[in-house]
Amino acid sequence: MLNLLVIQALNGLQFGILLFLVAAGLTLVFGVMDFINLAHGVQYMVGAYIAVTFTQLTGFFVTGVLLALPVAFLFGLLLEFLIFRHLYQRDHLDQVLATFGVILILHEGVKILWGAAPISIAIPEAVAGSVPLLGPLRYPVYRLLIIAAGLAVALGLYLLVRHTRTGMLLRAGASNAPMVQALGVDIRRLFMLVFGLGAMLAGFAGAMVTPILSVEPNMGDGILILTFVVIVIGGIGSIRGAFIAALLVGLVDTVGRSFGPILLKIFLEPAAASQVGRTLTPMLIYILMAAILSFRPAGLFPARQGA
């Protein structure tokens, strides 16, 4: 039982880290530009497809991921240049609609280019094995690698946001963008940078999951909605909030799915417990979100007050 708990906690951590990579970019875009980007999930999906293609072209997963990063960055800039920059001044409804349109376009675009069938690639051999943890417990190296990479990115983001000039502008932009502009900062360049960065992080997350999940056109949809839950819980615009909320959601979802039915069996008979468990566990994170919002309507760490 303890072994299962450790394994599931690690799985939850890994899932939470992935959610964080996607949520970090999204929360910055929300926070700095007050822009709701539904197409962020498809940027994750596009990142995965690009990584697969480069992996197949070069023969190495590492080069596939490394090449996918700048391409995802450029792709984000392209979307910003073509569509999103015209929407910053519009109301949220227009943004929702236009980015929904972008989702439809990219979904079909990917289906045309790569086909609708799921693609999967093998875990690179160097990290394909598993390592011993406590006693008989083993855990796949690749999943540990995802956790490590995610933590490294989180640290990098922390340093960027807290200790560089760009980060200072980001924080200032998240709390009051017009004021930053009034102080003479080229806000458009800042916006582009944020957008590209967000797209790159989402693309990185997409690239990292290609060996463990199948790559398919709608892979971004589920993660987008979970990311929304993360951002709402964490507070819009706060990277720290996104980090904590992502881990929370990842852990609650993963551990809840495996331990919810076990816990329910204590109170209910097995057949009822398995049905209730199957019904309740997917809803767990939404219940968590509702509970947190009833106490803190603006999330745990809101970046700006009164918005």
Partner 1 sequence: MPQAPKSPPPAKAAEAPADAPPHSLRQVKAAGPACLFAVFAVLPLLISLGADPFYLVIATRIMIFGIAALSLDLILGYGAMVSFGHAAFIGIGAYAVGMAASHGVTDLLAQLVLAMLAAAAFAVLTGAISLRTRGVYFIMITLAFGQMAYFFTVSLAAYGGDDGLTLPQRSTLLGQPWLENDFFFYYLVLILLLSCFLLAHCTLQARFGRVLRGTRDNALRMQAIGFEPLPYQLTAYVLAAMIAALAGALLANQAEFVSPAYMTWQRSGELIMMVVVGGMGTLTGGILGAAVFSLLEEFLSGFSQHWKLGLGIILVLIVLHGKSGMHGMLADLARRFGRS
List residues binding partner 1 (CB under 8 A).
30, 34, 36, 38, 83, 86-87, 90-94, 96-98, 100-109, 111-112, 176, 221, 225, 228-229, 231-232, 236, 275, 278-279, 282-283, 286, 289-290, 293-294, 297-299, 304-307
CB of 100 to partner 1, least distance (A): 5
Nearer to partner 1, 99 or 210 (CB): 99
Q: Based on CB atoms, which residue is closest to partner 1, 68 or 102?
A: 102
The whole-angstrom separation of Cα 53 and Cα 118 is: 13
Compare residues 36 and 190 and give the one whose CB is closer to partner 1.
36
CB-based burial of residue 222 (10 Å sphere; 0-12 exposed, 13-18 middle, 19+ buried)?
A: exposed
Nearer of residues 70 and 115 to partner 1, judged by Cβ: 115
CB 250 within 8 A of CB 233: no
Give me the least distance between CB of 96 and partner 1, in Å please: 6
Q: Which CB atom, from 13 or from 229, has the smaller least distance to partner 1?
A: 229
Between residues 96 and 213, which has the closer beta carbon with respect to partner 1?
96
Rounded Cα distance between 93 and 57, Å, is 41
Nearer to partner 1, 133 or 276 (CB): 276
Separation of alpha carbons 264 and 15, rounded Å: 24
**Nearest approach, Cβ of 69 to partner 1 (angstroms)?**
26
Q: Which neighbouring-strand residues pair with 139?
A: 131
CA dist., res. 75 & res. 220, Å (int): 16
Instruction: Return the closest-CA partner of residue 27 out of 210, 201, 178, 180.
Output: 201
State the nearest-atom distance from the C-beta of 111 to partner 1, in Å: 7
- Shortest distance (Å) from residue 107 CB to partner 1: 7
We find the least distance from the C-beta atom of residue 82 to partner 1, in angstroms, to be 9
Between residues 10 and 36, which has the closer beta carbon with respect to partner 1? 36
What is the nearest approach in angstroms of partner 1 to the Cβ of residue 194?
A: 16
Asked if residue 66 lies in contact with residue 207, where contact means CB atoms within 8 angstroms, the answer is: no
Q: Residue 119 forms beta bridges with which residues? A: 215
Q: Let me know: does 202 contact 24? Beta carbons within 8 Å.
A: no
Residue 163 or residue 305: which is nearer to partner 1 going by CB? 305
Shortest approach of partner 1 to residue 306 CB, angstroms? Answer: 5
Q: How far is the CB of 128 from partner 1 (least distance, A)?
A: 32
